[in-house]
Amino acid sequence: MHELSIAESILAAVRKELAGHPGARPIRVGLRIGELAAVDVDSLTFCFEAVVKGTEWETLQLDARVCPQRRLCRDCRNQFAVVEYNAACPACAGRNTSLTSGDELDFDYLEVETDATPAAQVKGAE
Amino acid sequence: MQRLPLKSKVLNENQIVAESLRERFREHGILCLNLISSPGSGKTALLERTLASLDPSTRVCVLTGDIQTDNDARRLAQYGFPVQQITTGGTCHLDGRMIEKHLAAWNLEDIDLLFIENVGNLVCPSSYDLGEASKIVLLSVTEGEDKPLKYPSIFFKSDLFILTKIDLLPYVPFDADVAEANARLVHPGIEIVRASSTAAGGLDQWLAWLTQRMAQAQQDALSAAHATD
């Protein structure tokens, strides 16, 4: 259950980012979560809703994209998606492979509304 | 609507603390090892037997994390080396700030080896960098051989896998080779040692690994010092 700590870290980072954008209202924060990151997206979403509830950030949404494990074979240069955590290269069966994605716990974007793009206009665009 | 790119890590604050800890460990030639396992896999017992076998002149310190009680610190303090308990009060993992805060009580000049015994949990501690040189994952033979597949993150992030309680192998339906193959499936480069904290010579492989890593850390510190001369 470290998802609660992570939810708090997300909100802290959003607030920090917004300090540099006066007047911007946060709508959605995008995350990239690797399947090796040991973070459960449902649990994180639940915790995040609990953290923002009753605050001025209550309508802020979380958009967490799970990134599957991908590896690069150092022997035959094949890039492949890992199936069931098997790190061996499916092309040459070599085990000399390195992770290229799948362990990230990164921010991706922060969607904000500014006075130049009022809420009504944004709704119309969607 | 405007989309601002946000390129930092979610746990950036922890990462900053961890990198500063890592730099301080490197400067002082400290080998810091972060031990992680489920509750009851034998982290404290392994540390107890390790401390008992170390030369009393070894400059080793231990930080041990638990949600409640200082039982582990009391167990580990019997061996005459400095030990501090980190009681998290509910938090399921240690983070960089907790390490930083407790290290303030010690002079880093006086430490060559720092063990961090994380809170018993195979999931959450894997997300938090503590500035360690290596994470070490422990799995005991009374658990399942498929744990590396069920909890891939920690096996992926650990440099060493210690299979513990191997003295019990005759009594349990546990296939050590399958467990090790599973760990290598998730992390082909992982190093593996088998250990028993009760059998004679049960820690030989682990202590050989530890001695080699301590020598390497001292060597690195010496070359770093020469490089700045």
Q: Give pTM, 2 decimals.
A: 0.88
Decide: residue B89, CB within 10 A, 0-12 exposed, 13-18 middle, 19+ buried: exposed
For B13, the closest of A9, A38, A39 (CB atoms) is: A9
The tokens describing A110, both together, are: 């922060």
Helix (H, G, I), strand (E, B) or coil at B109: helix
Residue A68 DSSP code:
P
Supply the pLDDT for residue B140.
98
Residue A18 within any structural domain of the chain: yes
Query: What mean pLDDT, rounded, does chain A reach?
Result: 88
Residue B171 DSSP code:
G
CB B140 within 8 Å of CB B40:
yes
Percent of chain A residues past pLDDT 70, beyond the cut: 90
Residue A45 within any structural domain of the chain: yes
Q: How many helices (H) and strands (E) does chain A have?
A: 3, 6
3-state secondary structure A8-21: HHHHHHHHHHHHCC
- What count of other Cβ atoms lies within 10 Å of the Cβ of residue B14? 21
- Judging contacts by C-beta atoms under 8 Å, the chain A residues touching residue B95 are 5
Supply the pLDDT for residue B229.
67
Rounded CA gap, A90 and A8, in Å?
40
Report whether pLDDT(B5) > 60: yes
Residue A43 within any structural domain of the chain: yes
For B156, the closest of A103, A104, A125 (CB atoms) is: A103
Residue A125 within any structural domain of the chain: no
Rounded CA gap, B222 and B163, in Å?
33
Rounded CA gap, A31 and B158, in Å?
24
Strands B83-87 and B60-66 come out as parallel
Report whether pLDDT(A101) > 90: yes
pLDDT tens for A6-41 read 999 999 999 999 998 888 999 999 999 998 898 999
Count how many domains chain A has: 1
Interface of B with A (CB under 8 A): 1-14, 91-93, 95, 123-124, 126-128, 149, 151-154, 156-157, 184-188
Angle at B147 between CA B205 and CA B98, to 5 degrees: 75
Supply the pLDDT for residue A116.
65
CB B168 within 8 Å of CB B200:
no
Band the pLDDT of A124: cuts 50, 70, 90. Answer: very low
Range of the domain at A93: 3-114
Q: Write phi, then psi, for B164 (nearest 5 degrees).
A: -100, 165
Please give the residue of chain A at the shortest CA–CA distance from B148. Answer: A85
For B185, the closest of A9, A87, A99 (CB atoms) is: A87
- Judging contacts by C-beta atoms under 8 Å, the chain A residues touching residue B10 are 6, 9-10, 13, 31, 105-107
pLDDT tens for A72-89 read 999 999 999 998 888 889
Q: For chain A, report the end-to-end CA distance as a whole number of angstroms.
A: 35
Residue A120 within any structural domain of the chain: no
Residue A123 within any structural domain of the chain: no
pLDDT tens for B26-83 read 999 999 999 999 999 999 999 999 999 999 999 999 999 999 999 999 999 999 999 9
- Judging contacts by C-beta atoms under 8 Å, the chain A residues touching residue B65 are none
Residue A100 within any structural domain of the chain: yes
- For chain B, give every domain's residue range: 14-218
ipTM (interface predicted TM): 0.75
Rounded CA gap, B202 and B212, in Å?
17
Decide: residue B87, CB within 10 A, 0-12 exposed, 13-18 middle, 19+ buried: middle
B41-61 burial: b if 16+ Cβ within 10 Å, else e: bbbbbbbbbbbeebeeeeebb
Q: Write phi, then psi, for A13 (nearest 5 degrees).
A: -70, -40
Supply the pLDDT for residue A118.
53
Rounded CA gap, B133 and B136, in Å?
10
User: The domain that contains A61 carries what CATH number?
Assistant: 3.30.2320.80
Report whether pLDDT(B15) > 50: yes
B14-218 CATH:
3.40.50.300
Mutate to test the interface with A, among B3, B4, B67 (most CBs of A within 10 A): B4
pLDDT tens for B118-171 read 999 999 899 999 999 999 999 999 999 999 999 999 999 999 999 999 999 999
The DSSP H or E segment spanning A36 is none
Query: What mean pLDDT, rounded, does chain B reach?
Result: 94
Report whether pLDDT(A126) > 70: no
Band the pLDDT of B6: cuts 50, 70, 90. Answer: confident
Q: For chain B, say whether A5 makes contact (Cβ under 8 Å).
A: yes
